[in-house]
Amino acid sequence: MVDLTTCYRKTASIVGRRIEDEVILVPIGRNVGDLQNIYTLNEVGSYIWDSIDGGKTLNSIVDQVLQEFEVDRGQAETDVLEFARQLEEVGGIVAGGVAQTTASGS
């Protein structure tokens, strides 16, 4: 189950490519000709995808979304959680990684 306090990392089963202003996600190992398995991300989705690195909790990504986009916390949390659920469902991300600390001097 996806939650805001967990770090997620991308898996090797989906690759993301930026083409001009869009990010396209393509599952590896599926029929590439099947357009239902190719995902085009909007600006917020692209930002969230780029932010998933195994070192940030989803809550940290919500904080980043709040800084980058004009959206309230409730909507940002809903969007990040729903997108993460979808990514987990298609095998694009898994829970894991270590939360990065912001200790001074590092």
The 10s digit of each residue's pLDDT in 44-77 is: 999 999 999 999 999 999 999 999 999 999 999 9
> Given a cut of 60, is residue 79 above it in pLDDT?
yes
Q: What is the pTM of this model?
A: 0.83
Mean pLDDT over each residue of the chain, to the nearest integer = 87
8-95: CATH class: alpha beta
Candidates 21, 7, 24; CA nearest to 61 is 7
| 30 contact partners, CB below 8 Å, separation of at least 6 | 37
Alpha helices in 1-106 (DSSP H): 43-51, 58-68, 73-89
* The pLDDT value given to residue 103: 44
Tokens for 95, please give them.
């829970």
